[in-house]
Amino acid sequence: MRVLVVGGGGREHALCWAIAASPLLTKLWCAPGNPGIAELAECVPVGATDIPALIDFARERQVELVVAGPEAPLTLGLADACAAAGIKCFGPSAAAAQLEGSKAFCKAVADAAGVPTAAWARFDDPGAARAHIRAKGAPIVVKADGLAAGKGVVVAQTLAEAEAAIAEIMESRVHGAAGASVVIEDFLEGEEVSFFALCDGATALPMAAAQDHKRVGEGDTGPNTGGMGAYSPPPAFTDAVRDEVMARIVKPTLAEMAGRGTPFRGVLFAGLMLTQAGPKLIEFNVRFGDPECQALMLRLRSDLLPALLAACDGELSRFDLRWEPTPSLVVVMAAEGYPGTPRKGSEIRGLERAAQVPGVQVFHAGTARREDGALVADGGRVLAIGAIGATLRAARDAAYAGVDAVEWPGGFCRRDIGWRAL
């Protein structure tokens, strides 16, 4: 099988790591990849959203399967372009990717499917949004409707914060066109988990759950990020909760999408709040989470590649996946300044030593090679140090032993990944 992975972050490094282990693989490319991925795959200098160039490349090299890492190429129609070219693509069509591309679309599908989720309303007009907020009261959640790299959400504890969010998103347009309209939601309280299900349009196969750490600061404080660490499985996500999520959230959504003529194929990422009234949907994403993917791939015992193919081919009903029962934990190392403007170019050493810690796997995210060959920071989230252990505590200790082996004065990480479970 000749496979092209699209993307170049820690999630894609983990996907390449899992795919590279498959006996079905004959050749692996990654566009654009990163220096860590380059040890497993041939990196191709094509951007993840340059659909025509990706298709040209895939045609030229007779790629048999394209695996989309991030959401952006999917919302831009990567899967549709692959279908038109006769190439299999793991990931949904642009129409189905609207589940992530538009929060209002996601909420409308959830309502139509009877999925439990926070009450919501959408506004194009800042004045009307403010009136709604005053009528509802705080805490309340304000979201830019479009894609904003996970940063377009403000969980406002006070009315003043909520109104400031309206000004920033709709009037100052800090997230650009994504803030032309907002979704305002009731605040949900509980334990937050990310759950992943492989979907082939008709059948959903549960994968596993992980807990992300979205805030930049320890104790879950400070601004939201793309995710500062994750572990799997979260103890609160019992088998009973999983069954309820499959029955009340994932399966009805899949049926609703198929009924609309836009069946969902790929991985459905349900962001959930485990409330006292049961699990509720916060949002759907149409791809693996980052860093949740790294935590999942560390625990996946089955071959990933045939599972991705079964999702493309509508054959998941005959499929099964096996997972290590032992936990995994991933610590993200970010460049100083993140989630604001990260400082690029600082040198990173010690990754070989980190990788020698038993159980540890080093995933690259925003790294680059300088001309002299040195590894440098080249993004916000730069590394993800993951580990598997007999217990969550052991996985955490191993992951932090890996982190401590990394020599990178320009980086930082949270020291408390896993705290809710530990």
Output b/e per residue, 164-198; b: 16+ Cβ within 10 A. ebbebbbeeebbeebbebbbbbeebeebbbbbbbb
Min dist CB 77 to ligand GLY, Å, is 21
Instruction: Tell me how long the chain is.
Output: 422
* Residue 107 binding ligand AMP, by CB under 6 A: no
Q: At 387, list the tokens.
A: 């580990």
Count, residues near ligand AMP per rule CB under 6 A: 15
Tell me which residues in 221-240 interact with ligand AMP (CB under 6 A).
224
Residue 51 near residue 76 (C-beta atoms within 8 A):
yes
Closest CB to ligand GLY among 47 and 150?
Answer: 150
* Residue 200 binding ligand AMP, by CB under 6 A: no
| The binder of ligand AMP chosen from 63, 129, 188, 332 (CB under 6 A) | 188
Q: Which of 98, 102, 117, 113 is nearest to 251 (CA)?
A: 113
Query: Which conformational region is residue 83 in: left (phi greater than 0), alpha (psi within -120 to 50 degrees), or beta?
Result: alpha
Min dist CB 156 to ligand AMP, Å, is 10
Closest CB to ligand AMP among 27 and 151?
Answer: 151
Min dist CB 287 to ligand AMP, Å, is 13
Interatomic CA distance for residues 397 and 44, integer angstroms? 36
Q: Which does 188 bind (CB under 5 to 8 A by kind): ligand GLY, ligand AMP, none?
A: ligand AMP
Shortest-Cβ-distance residue relative to ligand GLY = 227
* Residue 141 binding ligand AMP, by CB under 6 A: yes
* Residue 412 binding ligand AMP, by CB under 6 A: no
Closest CB to ligand AMP among 104 and 388?
Answer: 104
| The binder of ligand GLY chosen from 12, 200, 292, 378 (CB under 6 A) | 292
Distance of CA 368 to the CA centre of its chain: 21
Closest CB to ligand GLY among 81 and 279?
Answer: 279
**138: number of Cβ within 10 Å:** 17
| The binder of ligand GLY chosen from 32, 77, 139, 150 (CB under 6 A) | 150
Closest CB to ligand AMP among 130 and 214?
Answer: 214
| The binder of ligand GLY chosen from 290, 339, 363, 383 (CB under 6 A) | 290
CA angle (358, 348, 10) in 5-degree steps:
65
Min dist CB 151 to ligand AMP, Å, is 8
| The binder of ligand AMP chosen from 214, 265, 287, 414 (CB under 6 A) | 214
* Residue 285 binding ligand GLY, by CB under 6 A: yes
Distance spanning both ends of the chain, measured CA to CA:
41
Interatomic CA distance for residues 319 and 297, integer angstroms? 18
x/- track of binding to ligand GLY for residues 200-219 (CB under 6 A): ------------x-------
| The binder of ligand AMP chosen from 12, 71, 80, 185 (CB under 6 A) | 185
* Residue 226 binding ligand GLY, by CB under 6 A: yes
* Residue 71 binding ligand AMP, by CB under 6 A: no
| The binder of ligand AMP chosen from 6, 40, 72, 118 (CB under 6 A) | 118
Burial of 23 (0-12, 13-18, 19+ CB in 10 A): exposed
Side chain identity at 268, as an amino acid letter?
L
Closest CB to ligand GLY among 114 and 223?
Answer: 223
Output b/e per residue, 78-91; b: 16+ Cβ within 10 A. bbbbbeeeebbbbb
Min dist CB 192 to ligand GLY, Å, is 10
**Contacts with ligand AMP, residue ranges (CB under 6 A):** 118, 141, 143, 150, 153, 155, 185, 187-188, 192, 214, 224, 271, 282-283
**Contacts with ligand GLY, residue ranges (CB under 6 A):** 150, 212, 226-227, 285, 289-290, 292
